[in-house]
Copies of this chain bind each other. A is one copy, B any other.
Amino acid sequence: MEEELRSLWTQITFGSKLNIFPNSGKFNNIVIFGMGGSGIAGSIFQELYSDMPVISINDYKVPNFVGKSTLAIGISYSGNTIETVTALDECIDAGAKVVSITSGGVLSQEKYDPLIIPSGLQPRSAIGYLLIPLINTFMSFAPSEYKEAASVTRNLDNNNREIMDLAESMVKNRQIPFIYGFTPFRSLAYRWKTQFNENSKIFAYSGFFPEMDHNDIIPMKSTYRKEEFKFLVFGAENNRFISERISATADLTDSQFTIIEPRGNSILSKLFYLIHYGDYLSYYVAKARGIDPKEVEVITQLKKMIR
């Protein structure tokens, strides 16, 4: 599993050459289907890109508006996720242009116009391959920005003792992580949550500023069991509105926030730095619990039981 995590910087370098199709000019909206570790790529992209409406869906359900002017993108690392395959088939019937990002399986069939990415990883470890083609196709980042992103990610592979200590203290106190992001990194908080679920086998909660100031701020002050939660908050050094909210929320509720400042200048670097920090934190929580971070047998069992 650690070797898989260490592949992220090469995914960034390799991924920066991938596109899902050459021309996006004729669509009015984009609908992205995907579940779990694959679906998160759609949610992260939805936050980064807003030149047209993007709807990220983690479900079987296809919206009524899907038709000729819709680009429907299915993301499934295995290519066999039943929810995503079902939804893409329905999009084809509705006349949408369909493309897929997959390492194989059903979605690698020609009718899904697939981008085939390297196989052999856990879906959640393939986030670079799954996400970067979306970014490349619709947004213009410079080669130097990809280079910086690969570099901050690789640095974390070689220097993460601090993360190990944080993980060990969380396990010692049997804490449940509460992760708070902010635009454009809200979905990264959800990515961390799912990494804690799959790697560490613990529950986790994700939310974001400013929405949490309308609800979570109340139990933060007066819930029972507060000491059993660990508040992990993405740093907002360059965003005065949010950084003021973070300080005010901690002060008013008398809470300890562990702030994780993203690194690098480009938004790509900050994005992948935060992703990778969460990868390692959830991995070390598993190790501190004496649990195999890779094993997700119950998901496999469930897939056999249902459609």
Given A197-B218, A241-B307, A302 contacting B83 (CB threshold 8 A) = no
Distance from A234 Cβ to chain B, minimum over Cβ atoms (Å): 15
Docked-complex contact A306 and B244, CB < 8 angstroms: yes
Docked-complex contact B59 and A248, CB < 8 angstroms: no
Distance from A51 Cβ to chain B, minimum over Cβ atoms (Å): 5
Given the complex, which residues of B lie within 8 Å of A245, measured CB to CB?
A: 302, 306
Of A15-23, A144-152, A222-230, A268-276, which binds chain B? A222-230
Is the C-beta of A260 less than 8 angstroms from some C-beta in chain B?
A: no
Docked-complex contact A210 and B60, CB < 8 angstroms: yes
Convert A274-307 into 0s and 1s, putting 1 for each residue whose CB lies closer than 8 angstroms to a CB of B.
Answer: 0000000000000001010000101101100111
Given A29-B29, A302-B217, A58 contacting B211 (CB threshold 8 A) = yes
Distance from A209 Cβ to chain B, minimum over Cβ atoms (Å): 9
Docked-complex contact A306 and B183, CB < 8 angstroms: no
Number of copies: 2
Docked-complex contact B299 and A218, CB < 8 angstroms: yes
Is the C-beta of A97 less than 8 angstroms from some C-beta in chain B?
A: no
Docked-complex contact A211 and B299, CB < 8 angstroms: no
Of A1-9, A61-69, A100-108, A114-122, which binds chain B? A61-69
Convert A60-88 into 0s and 1s, putting 1 for each residue whose CB lies closer than 8 angstroms to a CB of B.
Answer: 11011100000000000000000100000
Given A198-B215, A301-B252, A64 contacting B35 (CB threshold 8 A) = no
Closest to A291 in B: B222
Distance from A97 Cβ to chain B, minimum over Cβ atoms (Å): 16
Convert A132-155 into 0s and 1s, putting 1 for each residue whose CB lies closer than 8 angstroms to a CB of B.
Answer: 000000000000000000000000
Is the C-beta of A187 less than 8 angstroms from some C-beta in chain B?
A: no
Is the C-beta of A26 less than 8 angstroms from some C-beta in chain B?
A: no
Is the C-beta of A257 less than 8 angstroms from some C-beta in chain B?
A: no
Is the C-beta of A249 less than 8 angstroms from some C-beta in chain B?
A: yes
Given A60-B241, A83-B210, A194 contacting B176 (CB threshold 8 A) = no
- Once the chains are docked, how many angstroms separate the CA of A194 from the CA of B211? 10
Is the C-beta of A156 less than 8 angstroms from some C-beta in chain B?
A: no
Distance from A178 Cβ to chain B, minimum over Cβ atoms (Å): 8
Closest to A211 in B: B58
Given the complex, which residues of B lie within 8 Å of A214, measured CB to CB?
A: 35-37, 39, 194, 299
Given the complex, which residues of B lie within 8 Å of A253, measured CB to CB?
A: 298
Convert A32-53 into 0s and 1s, putting 1 for each residue whose CB lies closer than 8 angstroms to a CB of B.
Answer: 0001110100000000001111
**6 nearest CB pairs, A to B:** A36-B214, A50-B63, A197-B215, A53-B53, A58-B211, A194-B215
